[in-house]
Structure 1
Amino acid sequence: MLKKEMIFLDLDLKSKEDVIQFLGNKLYENGYISKDYINSMLKREQEMSTYLKNGIAIPHGIISESIEGIKKNGICIAILKDDIEWDVENKVKIVLAIAADRFTHMEILAKVAKIASDNDKIKKLLEMSEEEIFANYSN
């Protein structure tokens, strides 16, 4: 599901809104979502943080509102140049924007949660190139 062109390293953005807009636009430009889905992602973030753990956030639209905005399943990954404040208590370095139907969404969350729970995997991920991320996480 992960495509090489949907991986962005050393991204120099300063706010979660900027990151969500950037990744949302990449999902839109590559035919994964409608433009409205980006607004659903931002709204979802206002209602409840998508911070997962260990510096990882997983922004996505409000499932009940945005399912029609998903044209095909996909994810977009950003490794930020610097940590940014995601919510009051948490900073983020890795962001995975998710556009997926309910079943696939849950599969993605399970895989990401497994990675987020392993500090060694996170450290390795932060050091990988686009090609290495693609090779290790594209299936």
Structure 2
Amino acid sequence: MSELRTTIGAVLKQKAGEVWSTRPDASVYEAIVLMAEKGVGALLVMDNGALVGIISERDYARKVILQERSSKETAVAEIMTSPVISVSLQHTVGDCMRMVTDHRIRHLPVVHGGAVVGMISIGDLVNCVISEQEERIRHLEAYISQ
């Protein structure tokens, strides 16, 4: 089966945008403000260039709001998800779809040579699946109309 074999490297090449991050000692409030400003649902947590965690809107809702904690007094390190599940440029869209489903996560940092080179969201994966299906339909229609 050839579907969902697009590599994450190929997905990243077509994806515009930067990878946004915060520090473990930043307040959750600062992290949420940055997410809102950048229109993203998660931030990588970086400490001296090393990926140490990820913080998402889901973490905020479950670990701050529902526990009645103060977002201005809670450090990112206290609620971030760690260790982080990450992928390489060689992983396929199919691999990543299985990971986000199995681990019930929405964001996957992409690591190459020990450095973060991008971030893939479930939305990126779904868009790739749709594109692959549209391409397959075009090929089938061209084959049928011959």
Relative to the length of structure 2, the TM-score reads 0.25
Q: Comparing both structures, which one devotes a greater share of its residues to strand?
A: 1
Structure with bigger RCO (C-alpha 8 Å, 6+ apart): 1
Q: Which has the larger radius of gyration?
A: 2
Structure with greater proportional helix content: 1
